[in-house]
Amino acid sequence: MSVITNMENKFSSESIDSVDKRRESIDEVIEMMKGYVQIEHSVAVISDLAEKKSYILSGNFRNFLEMDSSEYFTIDSIWEDDIYQRIHPDDLFERHLLELDFFNFLKALAPEERLNYTTNCKIRAINSNKEYQHIMHRNFYLKNSSKGGLWLAVCLYNYSYEMPESFSGIDGKIINTKTGAFFHVETYDNCIGLLSVREKEILVLISKGIISKEIANKLTISINTVNRHRQNILEKLNVSNSIEAVRTANALHLLK
């Protein structure tokens, strides 16, 4: 979970509309998604990045997740922790890397283009027999704010209808649902520029177990500067500690 602990820092910097305007849009989206999950028999999590809460709507797939029979409820978080606990830790990590890459991919697009894209991946989740089974996960944004900030995010969960042998890992993709074009996400190219040269240099030294004071001496900078860079690294990689920062940076191929 630490991979996404600080994702809220990115979301909170997005330009958001007034409370009344948001409420009207949220009510509209909830009504639309209520019908969708019944047709698709899926589970949808609508995350309000402004209010830091989520609306969970469920079709029949809630039985797989052993969720309460309620078709609609709210949680005070943009992370669906109860569902995350059922996902294989390796797949959860990879899924969050995909989400980070997707976020940076969308930020490079014009606001009106962002809503045409979704991620798609297959992740292992614990079924009612307490065994891991591949399920489908999608992530997309339904609304920008009027100021162009990303606002309402949606995660969809449903059965996967592909055999595990037909794909490797989580088989992450970013798809343009308007045109049908897609590309596989394996190297997280949209995250290449996340860290500055100095931040990479410091993170490499951290990975070798070197403490901040020694890093400051080695690079001839103040310890306050080192600590500021360390904090920036954690925020950019959306992690809560240096161990996770090194793991995530290596997975994103940022330290090579």
Of all residues in the chain, the percent with pLDDT exceeding 70 is 93
Structural tokens at position 80? 């669906």
**What is the structure's pLDDT at 163?**
82
* Same domain (yes/no): 157, 197: no
Confidence of residue 2 (pLDDT cuts 50, 70, 90): very low
221: in domain: yes
Confidence of residue 1 (pLDDT cuts 50, 70, 90): very low
Each residue's pLDDT tens digit, 13-66: 444 556 777 788 888 999 999 999 999 999 999 999 888 899 999 999 999 999
Each residue's pLDDT tens digit, 235-244: 888 788 899 8
Query: Where are the alpha helices (H) located in 41-167, listed in sequence order?
Result: 81-84, 89-107, 111-114
Give, for 165, the enclosing helix (H) or strand (E): none
Nearest to 92 by CA among 155, 142, 42: 155
Each residue's pLDDT tens digit, 140-167: 999 887 777 888 999 999 999 888 777 7
Burial class (CB in 10 A: 0-12, 13-18, 19+), 34: middle
Confidence of residue 3 (pLDDT cuts 50, 70, 90): very low
Residue 8 confidence (pLDDT) above 80? no
* Same domain (yes/no): 27, 143: yes
* Same domain (yes/no): 160, 238: no
- Domain containing 96: what range? 2-184
**What is the structure's pLDDT at 169?**
87
* Same domain (yes/no): 153, 227: no
CB-based contact 44:54 (threshold 8 Å): no
* Same domain (yes/no): 83, 178: yes
* Same domain (yes/no): 156, 198: no
Residue 255 confidence (pLDDT) above 60? yes
**What is the structure's pLDDT at 57?**
95
Confidence of residue 4 (pLDDT cuts 50, 70, 90): very low
48: in domain: yes
When pLDDT is averaged across residues 93-112 and rounded to a whole number, the result is 91
* Same domain (yes/no): 60, 110: yes
The residue whose two tokens read 């797949």 is 91
Q: What is the DSSP string of 124-151?
A: EEE-TTS-EEEEEEEEEEEEE-TTS-EE
When pLDDT is averaged across residues 117-135 and rounded to a whole number, the result is 95
d(CA 103, CA 46): 16
* Same domain (yes/no): 34, 62: yes
When pLDDT is averaged across residues 163-186 and rounded to a whole number, the result is 90
**Last residue of one domain, picked from the residues 164, 184, 204:** 184
Nearest to 96 by CA among 69, 119, 115, 73: 119
Each residue's pLDDT tens digit, 64-84: 999 987 878 999 988 899 999
* Same domain (yes/no): 143, 42: yes
65: in domain: yes
CATH number for the domain that contains residue 143: 3.30.450.20
CATH number for the domain that contains residue 232: 1.10.10.10
| Helix pair 212-219, 223-237: axis angle to 10 deg | 110
256: in domain: no
Number of domains in the chain: 2
Of all residues in the chain, the percent with pLDDT exceeding 90 is 63
**What is the structure's pLDDT at 5?**
42
The residue whose two tokens read 């639309």 is 32
Mean pLDDT of the chain: 88
Q: pTM of whole model > 0.95?
A: no
